[in-house]
């Protein structure tokens, strides 16, 4: 699986956090919980690990305590290495771009890190797309086409609401990107950017330094959009299953999509496991009278009630007589007895006391913040 050429991975942990402000109030986009036992960054980082990208920098700027705690030394991704491995890159106080405004500026802040790597290419990715992607294939396409930049995209039926947080590519017959729309007002079948790019290290460095000199900071605006005539920017079509988080609604839908067996098979293929932090929870326990259908249940859950069409994270508890439907119950949330919970997202360590009735709607799930007691 390992790549012939050394590739440096760069993950932007904070990008897009404005699309789910509830979930990112106390954490980065990369550390938003997903799928019963994961955080969003697990998918990108596991893709890198599974593709043999074993030197990765994670760029972050704020709210990063949970991210640092989650990633630790990178051991769970086999990235606790003497050479390469995982590097956490919080802002550098005495670099002008400490609190960066865009991807170019963020990269400017880690210029030394990029320079120091002996990789020839850089893969950049955000944490808002959940997919299983082999970067070897992207790299091979990049080399074959002789592109300056290869951008990963996927065809998608876009709604007006999600389009406002999405970049759309126009692609010619040769696969070259000839038009870039940033957060456009349109809907229908589009080729949307999955915010994953491969580019040679030297070209990237020259773009970053040039951008800093000219005071531009957005990679999408100042490089992809402004220079798609000048640079050869090729699209790489990703056919596999993916979901993209662009609102609390799409976050909810992306979780619920995992209840579909086909989707799970695509996201968790046997040869590309998704790694995450280990918590050493015992197996889930189902008591007398438990009734659980069409749900994802993580280790450490104790279920005495009824659970339908829901996702329960590690250590969640559902008391006797309670009914949980169409909900996302995050880590260590405790639901008491005789509660009725429908279309609710509870953040970590929420406590819902006996007899409570909470009903949201599938197009507007109720969100309950971390540590709340109801």
Q: Is 286 in the site for another protein (CB under 8 A)?
A: yes
Site pattern 75..104 for another protein (x: CB under 8 A): x-----------------------------
Q: Is 173 in the site for another protein (CB under 8 A)?
A: no
The count of residues in the chain is: 374
Q: Is 290 in the site for another protein (CB under 8 A)?
A: yes
Q: How far is CA 220 from CA 38, 100, 149, 224, in A?
A: 28, 15, 12, 5
Q: Contacts with another protein: how many residues (CB under 8 A)? A: 36
CA angle 337, 340, 345 (to 5 degrees): 105
By CB under 8 A, the residues from 23 to 52 that bind another protein are 35-37
Q: Is 288 in the site for another protein (CB under 8 A)?
A: yes
Q: Of the two residues 186 and 278, which places its CB atom closer to another protein in the complex?
A: 278
Among 98, 172, 291, 355, interactor with another protein by CB under 8 A: 291
Site pattern 337..356 for another protein (x: CB under 8 A): --------------------
DSSP of 55-88, one letter per residue? EEEEE--SS-HHHHHHHTTSGGGT---SSSEEEE
* 136 in Cβ contact with 8 (< 8 Å): no
Q: Of the two residues 64 and 77, which places its CB atom closer to another protein in the complex?
A: 77
* Residue 129: Cβ within 10 Å count: 25
Q: Is 292 in the site for another protein (CB under 8 A)?
A: yes
CA atoms within 13 A on the CB side of 85: 12
Q: Of the two residues 203 and 302, which places its CB atom closer to another protein in the complex?
A: 302
Among 249, 299, 320, 351, interactor with another protein by CB under 8 A: 299
Task: Estimate to the nearest angstrom the gap between the alpha carbon of 317 and the chain centroid.
Answer: 26
Q: Is 134 helix (H, G, I), strand (E, B) or coil?
A: coil
Q: Of the two residues 283 and 355, which places its CB atom closer to another protein in the complex?
A: 283
Task: Please report the sign of the dihedral spanned by the C-alpha atoms of residue 249, residue 252, residue 255, residue 259.
Answer: negative
Site pattern 244..283 for another protein (x: CB under 8 A): ---------------x-x--x--xx----xxx--x-x-xx
Q: Of the two residues 147 and 292, which places its CB atom closer to another protein in the complex?
A: 292
Shortest Å distance, C-beta 283 to another protein: 3
Q: Is 74 in the site for another protein (CB under 8 A)?
A: no
Residues with Cβ < 8 Å from 133, sequence gap 6 or more? 47, 152, 194, 196, 238, 240
Shortest Å distance, C-beta 315 to another protein: 9
Q: Is 371 in the site for another protein (CB under 8 A)?
A: no
Which of these segments, 100-108, 211-219, 234-242, 296-304, binds another protein (CB under 8 A)?
A: 296-304
Shortest Å distance, C-beta 85 to another protein: 15
Q: Of the two residues 138 and 274, which places its CB atom closer to another protein in the complex?
A: 274
Shortest Å distance, C-beta 263 to another protein: 11
Both tokens assigned to 93:
């106080």
Q: Of the two residues 252 and 275, which places its CB atom closer to another protein in the complex?
A: 275
Among 95, 143, 248, 302, interactor with another protein by CB under 8 A: 302
Q: Of 156, 32, 9, 144, nearest to 87 (Cα)? A: 9
Q: Of the two residues 297 and 344, which places its CB atom closer to another protein in the complex?
A: 297
Among 311, 330, 335, 368, interactor with another protein by CB under 8 A: 311
Taking the C-alpha atoms of residue 227 and residue 22, their distance in angstroms, rounded to an integer, is: 35
Taking the C-alpha atoms of residue 204 and residue 120, their distance in angstroms, rounded to an integer, is: 10
Taking the C-alpha atoms of residue 10 and residue 86, their distance in angstroms, rounded to an integer, is: 10
Q: Is 313 helix (H, G, I), strand (E, B) or coil?
A: coil
Residue 48, classified by CB atoms within 10 Å of its CB into exposed (0-12), middle (13-18) or buried (19+), is buried
Q: Of 97, 69, 89, 74, nearest to 11 (Cα)? A: 89
Tell me which residues touch another protein (CB under 8 A): 35-37, 75, 259, 261, 264, 267-268, 273-275, 278, 280, 282-300, 302, 311-312
């Amino acid at each position: 699986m390992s790549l012939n050429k050394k590739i440096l991975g760069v993950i932007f942990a904070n990008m897009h956090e404005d699309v789910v402000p509830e979930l990112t109030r106390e954490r980065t986009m990369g550390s938003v919980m997903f799928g019963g036992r994961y955080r969003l960054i697990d998918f990108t980082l596991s893709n890198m690990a599974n593709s043999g990208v074993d030197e990765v920098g994670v760029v972050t700027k704020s709210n990063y305590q949970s991210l640092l705690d989650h990633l630790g030394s990178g051991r769970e991704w086999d990235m606790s290495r003497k050479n390469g491995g995982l590097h956490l890159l919080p802002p550098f106080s005495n670099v002008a771009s400490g609190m960066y405004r865009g991807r170019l500026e963020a990269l400017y802040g880690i210029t030394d890190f990029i320079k120091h790597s002996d990789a020839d290419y850089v893969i950049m990715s955000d944490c808002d797309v959940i997919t299983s992607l082999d970067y070897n294939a992207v790299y091979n396409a990049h080399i074959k086409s002789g592109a300056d930049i290869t951008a990963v995209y996927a065809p998608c039926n876009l709604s007006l609401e999600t389009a406002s947080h999405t970049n759309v590519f126009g692609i010619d017959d040769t696969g070259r990107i000839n038009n870039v729309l940033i957060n456009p007002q349109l809907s229908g079948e589009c080729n949307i950017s999955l915010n994953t790019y491969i580019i040679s290290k030297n070209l990237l460095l020259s773009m970053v330094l040039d951008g800093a000199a000219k005071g531009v900071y957005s990679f999408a605006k100042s490089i992809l959009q402004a220079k798609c005539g000048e640079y050869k920017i090729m699209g790489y079509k990703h056919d596999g299953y993916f979901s993209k988080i662009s609102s609390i609604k799409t976050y909810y839908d992306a979780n619920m999509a995992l209840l579909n067996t086909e989707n799970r098979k695509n996201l968790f293929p046997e040869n590309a496991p998704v790694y995450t932090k280990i918590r050493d929870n015992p197996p889930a326990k189902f008591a007398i009278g438990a009734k659980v259908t069409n749900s994802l249940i993580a280790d450490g859950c104790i279920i005495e009630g009824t659970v339908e069409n829901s996702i329960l994270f590690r250590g969640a508890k559902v008391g006797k007589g309670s009914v949980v439907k169409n909900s996302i119950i995050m880590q260590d949330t405790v639901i008491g007895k005789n509660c009725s919970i429908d279309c609710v997202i509870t953040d970590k360590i929420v406590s819902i006391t006996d007899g409570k009735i909470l009903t949201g709607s599938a197009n507007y799930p109720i969100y309950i913040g971390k540590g709340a007691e109801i």
